[in-house]
Structure 1
């Protein structure tokens, strides 16, 4: 998968998220041996690769995306000498399978570790990212971060998902859903109202929340 990072066809997907790397540096400074990083939606590994390099086999990286993509990326990283990538949380390719369900099952069964930083860059639609946010909030360590990408993205402006480009979108979603910024809606409903979390800031189209160090469940 990592070969796509140098393929001009994937140029728009080849830039790592700056907020993730900045907050990871802060985490590594205070907890260099055992940080836990979640990535929800891995794209082509543009953010995963520099995160893996920075962590340098310390702690654990858990990837949540389609199973075939998770395994391909983990294999590429292993070839580069990085063995701290957990590829066991990929989802099947069934229509209603997804990272939201893997997270829920893992949390209920207590098989997922608490994380220091979670980067959410998945489907950007409410039915996937609303339950994802709810589960992640309970897995976030006090002082940990949740970073949401594409805060202002919406189906109607997508170069691949807008009804003009993909007519099926107008059948699958009503006009309100097509025009609504789903990630923003998730943050407004589940993050901004939770007193355990504070809004840290926005960088470009990425928003960051931090769980307060003294926050209780």
Structure 2
């Protein structure tokens, strides 16, 4: 099954677009990436695309993490993976509060880099994703890559979140600042071990661990 075939099945489900998936297919294939980490999967659309890419490339594995509440989505990630016969390529983890707890467990358990790629499309929050980057850094192999989704997203611009009491009560700068752009500009670009920075037309921030 190709990325295009997967896209036809997932077309009406909220998540990654086919255009983004085809970009990732070129990116992952050209750089020979095979041990993937994903932070935030929602319904699992992006996870299915990543697993499809691995299957098409002849092997590899995706580890993906989201909140426990994601199991109640319809469809949910496991239903989609079953439908597409991709479960063997994916390990799904559910966490109560944040994927950072699972990242801590990985660091404790393995004590060395595991992944050559990480796709972050989760909390979109400075406090969560700034710390997530520092944890991912400990798990990312030298030469590995990180892609941050939604560089231009803010709580105040989100149709689904801007009226929530939590967001209404935020200070204006917290509400209207794109948090992922701050993570990328303040933490990633200033980190001595990262380079080859790029901002794509999709609003993705890309960086490579060069040391």
Q: Please indicate, yes or no, whether the TM-score normalized by the shorter chain is above 0.5.
A: yes
Partner of 1:180: 177
Shift of 1:59: 1.8
Shift of 1:142: 1.3
Query: TM-score under structure 1 normalisation?
Result: 0.79
Contact 1:20/1:147 (<8 A) preserved: no
CA distance in structure 2 between the aligned counterparts of 1:20 and 1:68, rounded to whole angstroms: 27
Partner of 2:133: 133
Partner of 1:59: 60
Across the aligned residues of Structure 1 and Structure 2, the Cα RMSD in angstroms comes to: 2.6
Partner of 1:22: 26
Contact 2:113/2:141 (<8 A) preserved: no
User: Structure 2: which 5+ residue stretches go unaligned?
Assistant: 1-6
Partner of 1:84: 89
CA distance in structure 1 between the aligned counterparts of 2:115 and 2:80, rounded to whole angstroms: 23
| C-alpha spacing 1:25/1:198, structure 2 compared with 1 (3 Å) | same
CA distance in structure 2 between the aligned counterparts of 1:4 and 1:158, rounded to whole angstroms: 27
Structure 1 residue 191 corresponds to structure 2 residue 193: no
Partner of 1:115: 115
Contact 2:71/2:77 (<8 A) preserved: yes
User: Structure 1: which 5+ residue stretches go unaligned?
Assistant: none
Moved more, 42-51 or 152-161: 42-51
Partner of 2:70: 69
CA distance in structure 2 between the aligned counterparts of 1:211 and 1:4, rounded to whole angstroms: 34
| C-alpha spacing 1:112/1:170, structure 2 compared with 1 (3 Å) | farther
| C-alpha spacing 1:158/1:85, structure 2 compared with 1 (3 Å) | same
Aligned residue pairs total 196
| C-alpha spacing 1:201/1:70, structure 2 compared with 1 (3 Å) | farther
Query: TM-score under structure 2 normalisation?
Result: 0.81
Partner of 2:100: 100
Partner of 1:145: 145
1:150-178 CA distance string (max 9 Å, x none): 1111111111111xx3244123x222210
| C-alpha spacing 1:70/1:134, structure 2 compared with 1 (3 Å) | farther
CA distance in structure 2 between the aligned counterparts of 1:112 and 1:99, rounded to whole angstroms: 18
